[in-house]
Chains A and B, each alone.
Chain A
Amino acid sequence: MKKLSRNQTFLLITVPVLALFFCFNTLPLIKGLIYSFTNFKGFGSYDWVGIRNYADLFTDARVGKSYLFTFKFALVATILTNVVALLLALGLNGKIRAKSALRGVYFVPRILGGLVVGYIFGYIFTYILPAVTGGSSMLSNTNTAWLAIVIVAAWQSIAQTTLIYISGLQTVPEDVYEAGAIDGATGWKSFKELTFPLIIPFFSINMVLSMKDFLMVFDQIMALTKGGPAQSTESISYLIYNNGMGGGQFGFQSANAVIFFIVIVAISVFQLNFTGKKEEQL
């Protein structure tokens, strides 16, 4: 038997993987794309409507509002999550007692189901916080409801982001710190000059993953506000799912999903390129 070259091996691995991916991701996406040119309800008979759905999309105030809300939300939540998670990961990776227990506790939010999170935080925002601060519920005010969702979404996703940072920190060899300590690099300087450059791949992964998760926010909205108050927290995914699957707008929301997909891909390619350049510089 002839030995396979390195490139042949790689090709033999990559091609079947790509085929599987095409079959369960791209193929259904193409079918969805086709539906976006119809008035399909999700079942039964339908008519072709040409580019009507796309034309509507750009004149629909509700869709426009959902884009604004989603991007504002995702930006704030991504920054908040990554800052807190990075600090938490550094802390949990430090020389502390009860490391396992602490890591376990900080991971719990990610496991709790949407129903539990929705109820508990609904309770906190409706009854406990107003009692403590004397104000009214954050969830019933159009100016603060989105912040409440940011808090809950970040609370849940910090667990996963921290985990990825922690495993990134494992690739930083101890001797880097030792060498750094000899040069007098400690604290912030040691982090900025030694640790951070080494975990940049994980930083960019986390940025992309959390940006994607937050742009697609759905569960926390269903659990906390169902798009309210006054339709101020309707995210793009909320519209796509509720009106496409739950309602009769499958075709229209497929068009929405296609545009949304293109927008996020553009953002992420930009993000990856940006952090990729950073990696090369360092």
Chain B
Amino acid sequence: MKKRLIATALVAAMLIGTIISASGCSSEGSADGKTHITLLQYKPEAVKAFEKMEEEFNATHDDIVLQIESPNDAMTVLKTRLIKEDAPDIIGIGGDVNFSNFLDAEILMDISDFEGLSLIKQAYLDIDKNLEFVPMDGVYAVPYVANAAGVLYNRQMFKDNNWEVPTTWNEFMTLCDTIKASGQQPLYFGFKDVWTCLAPWNALACDLAPADVCRQVNKGETKFIDEYDEVAQKMLELLDHAQDDPFAYSYNDACTAFANGEAAMYCIGGYAVPQIQSVNPDMDIDSFVMPGCDSEADNILNSGVDLQFCVTNECKNKEAAYEVLSFLLEDSTIQTYLDDQNAVPCKDQEFKLSSALDGMVSYINEGRMVDYQDHYYPSEMSVDAQIQTFLLDGSVEKFLNKFDTDWVRYNRDIIRKVQEYEKKGGNE
């Protein structure tokens, strides 16, 4: 009995030994004389589209082998690969604070000489530019697709009750009252998942606060308590029209409730549509831009870069990486992606968009949009949780004062860099 155990252990140890020695020499395999490009992208839900792209690319290119990885929890994987000094050549990430951090950590390559950049809508290039903590020379990302957020609504319910899509804040609040008076639920929130607090917050902030408020604060020109007051007030007004105890329900609960017609509207981005339609595949969903202002002309769509490609400094063959980027920007490749995922392409050209975005199309085509404010918030400051705290507590002043003090604390190094940059003269 014991002898058998020891024998098993020995066999196991030997097995391990052979496998290590075997796996040790299998990694570097560019013996075929071709250039290998690895692309790691962070949307595992789009894996099918990317598999197809990879296949098409490799079928049409003899000298470059493209390998696309779509791991689960890709941001963690990406960070560990950076630590291992095994960074992929191209990364597909979102235009959010992670991108800003990667820029700040100097791991991305300047790709301003990439010709494909001229094909991209200027609004999205500007959005990416604004994500730089301190204005940098050069371009570091190719915006690929964007998403947009505002208010989703149940088109059938609106039709049945003759409700009109609101275009101003007053119309919106009146509509909520009308819906409630008809015995139905106007809005549903999933505030148990703190991140969902950011959806209405961002959409309102686009309408009511300057787009570059965070940079202005970093420069010391203004304070959040002056800029966000109206946003915070209107968040509280929205809460009046929510279901009972919205802090008890999760994002998933809210999607399910909206899908089952328990609420007429849902303040969230277009990204929630697949989850909603998984519960109710036939649901007719449309959306409208958050009407935060008193006049329709002042409303601005909340849209940000959902997927963009960056070349890392580790990339040894820039030409090959550009070749891959050009391929990704071809109309047929973008269409492959759009067929699989609900998204707004950043390429300056007309594509057929999902009907859930009907109410936003004119804004998208006009380029009347600004980025999600939370893309500028450091994630460790947990603004989403702070908004949840504020909504539970109801005190605008307390919340925004804390926002201002916390901001300085969490962004100390960035503020120092920004102010040094300004002292040197800046360029604005």
Chain A residues packing against B (C-beta within 8 Å) = 39, 41-47, 56, 122, 125-126, 130, 136-137, 139-140, 142, 225-231, 234, 242-243, 245-249
Contacts and interface: CB of A to CB of B under 8 A. Distances in A.
If over half of B's interface residues share one DSSP class (helix, strand or loop), that class is named, otherwise mixed; here it is helix
Given A43-B107, A142-B392, A245-B76, 18 more contacts: A42-B83, A43-B82, A43-B105, A45-B106, A126-B249, A130-B248, A139-B247, A139-B248, A227-B382, A228-B192, A228-B194, A228-B247, A228-B385, A228-B388, A231-B385, A243-B382, A248-B101, A248-B380
A47 B412 CA distance: 13
Interface string B216-258: 0000000000000000000000000000110111100100000
B248 to A, nearest CB: 4
Interface in B288-346: none
B160 to A, nearest CB: 28
Contacts of B392: 142, 229-230
A136 B389 contact: no
Given A226-B194, A227-B385, A229-B388, A44 B379 contact: no
Given A39-B413, A246-B379, A247-B379, A44 B104 contact: yes
A136 B245 contact: yes
A45 B102 CA distance: 10
Interface residues of B, number: 34
B312 to A, nearest CB: 11
Interface in B152-202: 192-194
Contacts of B82: 43-44
A140 B245 contact: yes
B192 A139 contact: yes
B378 interface: yes
B79 A42 contact: yes
A247 B380 contact: yes
Given A44-B106, A248-B379, A230 B76 contact: no
A154 to B, nearest CB: 21
Contact of B378 (A44, A125, A247): A247
A143 to B, nearest CB: 12
Nearest to A59: B409
Interface of B: 75-76, 79, 82-83, 97, 101-102, 104-107, 192-194, 244-245, 247-250, 253, 378-380, 382, 385-386, 388-389, 392-393, 409, 413
Contacts of B106: 44-45
A137 B193 contact: no
Report, nearest first, the 3 A-B pairs whose CB atoms are least far apart: A44-B105, A247-B380, A137-B248
B149 to A, nearest CB: 20
Contacts of A226: 192-194, 385
A26 B97 CA distance: 33
A245 B413 CA distance: 18
A231 B105 CA distance: 30
A245 B76 CA distance: 8
A230 B79 contact: no
Nearest to A123: B253
Contacts of B253: 126
A41 B79 CA distance: 10
A269 B152 CA distance: 56
B245 A137 contact: yes
Nearest to B82: A43
A245 B386 CA distance: 20
A225 B192 contact: yes
Nearest to A245: B76
Given A140-B192, A248-B101, A248-B380, A43 B79 contact: yes
B14 to A, nearest CB: 18
Nearest to B313: A44
Most buried by A among B83, B102, B249, B385: B385
A239 B74 CA distance: 20
27 contacts: A43-B79, A47-B413, A56-B409, A122-B192, A125-B248, A126-B192, A126-B248, A137-B245, A137-B248, A140-B247, A140-B248, A227-B194, A228-B192, A228-B194, A228-B388, A229-B192, A229-B388, A229-B389, A230-B385, A230-B389, A231-B385, A242-B379, A242-B380, A247-B379, A248-B97, A248-B101, A248-B380
A113 to B, nearest CB: 14
A106 B372 CA distance: 47
B265 to A, nearest CB: 21
Nearest to B385: A231
Nearest to B249: A126
- Residue among A45, A122, A227, A229 with most chain B CB within 10 A: A229
Contacts of A137: 245, 247-248
A45 B105 CA distance: 5
B410 to A, nearest CB: 8
A56 B97 CA distance: 23
A231 B389 contact: yes
B383 to A, nearest CB: 11
Contacts of B101: 41, 43-44, 248
Contacts of B104: 41, 44
Q: Tell me which of A39, A46, A130, A243 has the highest count of chain B C-beta atoms within 10 A of its own C-beta.
A: A243
A142 B83 CA distance: 39
A124 B389 CA distance: 23
B388 A230 contact: yes
Contacts of B97: 248
A140 B244 CA distance: 11
Contacts of B244: 136
A230 B393 contact: yes
Nearest to A225: B192
B105 A41 contact: yes
A41 B98 CA distance: 10
B102 A44 contact: yes
A39 B250 CA distance: 34
A280 to B, nearest CB: 33
Nearest to B76: A245
Contacts of B83: 42-43
Contacts of B409: 56
Contacts of A47: 413
A227 to B, nearest CB: 6
Contacts of B379: 242-243, 246-248
Contacts of A245: 76, 79
A204 to B, nearest CB: 29
B382 A231 contact: yes
